[in-house]
Structure 1
């Protein structure tokens, strides 16, 4: 059997200034949105709640979910990056940030978190994720 796209979910967290949260990943040597693969039989909401808690100690409240989009974005992994997957196919969850919510890196996923204007997306290195992220922000109506 050939490689497939890993099913994943990404958070587009928007603050009161209409900025979105991205982070620098020392592991990937690039910026990215909070995101991650879905566990077997895990739904999108459970997946994004888990990922945000694992990566940022962020407790997502369901009433802060602005939208879960049907449209997905995908990006291929670099060659020989993963033994099972050729890339990720991401469902997008748009979230209204709570000012009292933690955004503290919890593992090697991120070492720096920043809020950026969506129009400034191109100013940061996302490696092979750039087109997918631009599509995601467009789907969210942010660019």
Structure 2
């Protein structure tokens, strides 16, 4: 993907996307990176649909709580798309509980926003503009029951604790060698590198 890191200033968020994509408090969350999928080219003539997502960074020493997906052979940070009008932190808590069985989620702190423009394969738009709001948090050591959606079960998703450096190495190997990798793996690996640099 083409990418731009803007040192804390929003690149695409400065203009028309800010007012309809971000609530006022979230406009000041630091910007981590913007990526534009190479299939898109220029955005000027594209019809864009907006989607917000929330992602949870949970560390235990040098281990991180991740989702392993058998279909894509990758590790991803728990989280996903927000429901209509859903509060971002409430959505992060919901996703973390559903995907990992996390209990007593607490000490939630902002980490940053990762912005993506990807091809959209539905008739209502050409491009999906996704903002991933990432937070760090703590949870109880014991995980409860998960509530996966049907497609997540079919994809072979499961929650795992893994050494963060092992997760990075695994994802980088998948990016280099696998023809079945998903579009999210570059985002996830970038975030893992940044988490390892800043939080360990």
Match of 1:129 in 2: 184
Higher relative contact order (CA 8 A, sep 6+): 1
Cα distance per residue 1:60-118 (max 9 Å; x no partner) = 433x32x213x31134446627965625320101122321342x442243532222222
Classify 1:115/1:78 alpha carbon distance in 2 versus 1 (closer, same or farther; 3 Å): farther
Residue 115 of structure 2: aligned partner = 74
* Equivalence for 1:7: 52
Shift of 1:35: 0.8
| 1-structure distance, mates of 2:75, 2:124 | 23
Unaligned runs of 5+ in 1: none
The TM-score with structure 1 as length reference comes to 0.72
CA distance 1:79–1:4, shift in 2 (3 Å): closer
Who wins on radius of gyration, i.e. which is larger? 2
Aligned residues: 138
After superposition, the Cα gap between the structure-2 partners of 1:82 and 1:111, relative to the gap in structure 1 and judged at 3 Å, is farther
Q: TM-score, normalised by structure 2?
A: 0.55
Aligned match of 1:58 in 99, 102, 122?
102
Which consecutive unaligned segments of at least 5 residues does structure 2 have?
1-45, 175-180
Equivalent-residue separation in structure 1 for 2:47 and 2:53 (angstroms) = 19
2:134 alignment partner in structure 1: 92
| Alignment deviations for residues 36-58 of structure 1 (CA, whole Å, 9 cap, x no partner) | 11122222211111112222332
Q: 1:56 to 1:116 in 2, by over 3 A?
A: closer
Q: Which whole-Å CA distance do the structure 1 matches of 2:186 and 2:139 have between them?
A: 24
